[in-house]
Amino acid sequence: MATVFLLGIGSCVQTITTLLEDNGYRVIPSYSEGEALEIIRRATPDVLILEHEQTEMNALEVCRRVRRTPGLDTLPVLLLSSRHEESDIVEGLDAGADDYVAIPFRHREVLARVRVLVRRTVYVFAHQESKRLESLERQDGVSHQKLKHGALTIDVEGWQVSQQGSLIDIQGRQFRLLVYLMQNCGTVLSLDHLSRYLFGESHQGHEHRIPRYIFQLREKLEQDPKHPQLIQTVRGVGYCIRNEEGEE
């Protein structure tokens, strides 16, 4: 299930929310320019839809801020607006938008444009992950990358996990999931995001596996799996490993 962030307060917002949800998308709404960036950071959506209508809500400024923010700068942005003049469209695209749809919009057209942007997100994500893995493979085999969090240590290239000096048997996708959560420590990652990471372009339909992997990791790593201290659940959003105290 792809996730769409939707910023707006106009009459079309509920229409497009219903349209997207009826077609299998998860919609995360925002009604304030001020909170938009923080919600986008937490939710890691696949597509941003910004309503460029209300003067008190500057969608173009949100778009510019997204383009200036590392980690968010590649997210595709679709602007919705009743402003049809060429100068308005050019201004929106120059602000960083990838596409511009006029209000009133045709439902099938909006769905097609969103599908295109989701495919782009999947491609960019897969490309970035491929480059990261290539970089790891080029590292000196003697100097293994190690990730640490409290008593937990992960030898990434050696595919080993230890806690308080004792090796723990974590293999396959469980290992890859743990490494990815550690590499993104402090960031809440959605089920869809984690599913795309583990399963690539064939991720749809596999989201239900993520909670099972999390459960298995907690059974192996947490002193009390029912009250986890390492892998946290952020209800309605996803999972994360919190930064250790003293870290930003």
48 domain-assigned: yes
pLDDT, position 143: 45
Tokens standing for residue 74: 């590649």
Task: Fill in the DSSP letter of residue 200.
Answer: G
130 domain-assigned: no
Is 168 in the same domain as 69?
Answer: no
Of 125, 157, 178, the residue at which a domain comes to its end is: 125
Confidence grade of residue 131 (pLDDT, cut at 50, 70, 90): low
> pLDDT at residue 248 above 50?
no
Of 61, 94, 125, the residue at which a domain comes to its end is: 125
Sheet bearing 146-149, strands edge to edge: 146-149, 152-155, 160-163, 166-168
Is 48 in the same domain as 120?
Answer: yes
Pairing of strands 231-234, 238-241: antiparallel
Is 195 in the same domain as 224?
Answer: yes
Q: What is the CATH number of the domain that holds 234?
A: 1.10.10.10
> pLDDT at residue 142 above 70?
no
Q: What is the pLDDT of residues 145-178, one digit of tens each?
A: 789 998 999 998 888 999 988 999 998 889 999 9
Q: Give the number of other CB atoms < 10 A from CB of residue 5.
A: 23
Confidence grade of residue 240 (pLDDT, cut at 50, 70, 90): very high
Q: What is the pLDDT of residues 55-110, one digit of tens each?
A: 556 889 999 999 998 878 888 999 998 888 888 889 999 999 999 998 889 999 99
Q: Using CA atoms in the order 111, 72, 99, 59, what is the torsion angle rounded to 10 degrees?
A: 100
Q: Which residue range forms the structural domain that includes residue 109? A: 3-125
pLDDT, position 21: 94
Report the mean per-residue pLDDT for the chain: 84
Confidence grade of residue 48 (pLDDT, cut at 50, 70, 90): very high
Q: CA 191, CA 114: separation in Å to the nearest integer?
A: 19
160 domain-assigned: yes
pLDDT, position 152: 92
> pLDDT at residue 51 above 80?
yes
* Tokens 């060429």, residue located: 86
pTM of the predicted structure, to 2 decimals: 0.56
Is 114 in the same domain as 144?
Answer: no
Q: What is the pLDDT of residues 189-204, one digit of tens each?
A: 988 888 888 877 655 6
pLDDT, position 141: 46
Is 92 in the same domain as 204?
Answer: no
131 domain-assigned: no
Is 98 in the same domain as 160?
Answer: no
Q: Give one DSSP letter per residue of 98-128, joined into a string.
A: SEEEESS--HHHHHHHHHHHHHHHHHHHHHH
Q: What is the CATH number of the domain that holds 110?
A: 3.40.50.2300
**Strand partners for 241:** 231
Is 98 in the same domain as 145?
Answer: no
Number of domains observed in the structure of the chain: 2
For range 203-217, the mean pLDDT: 83
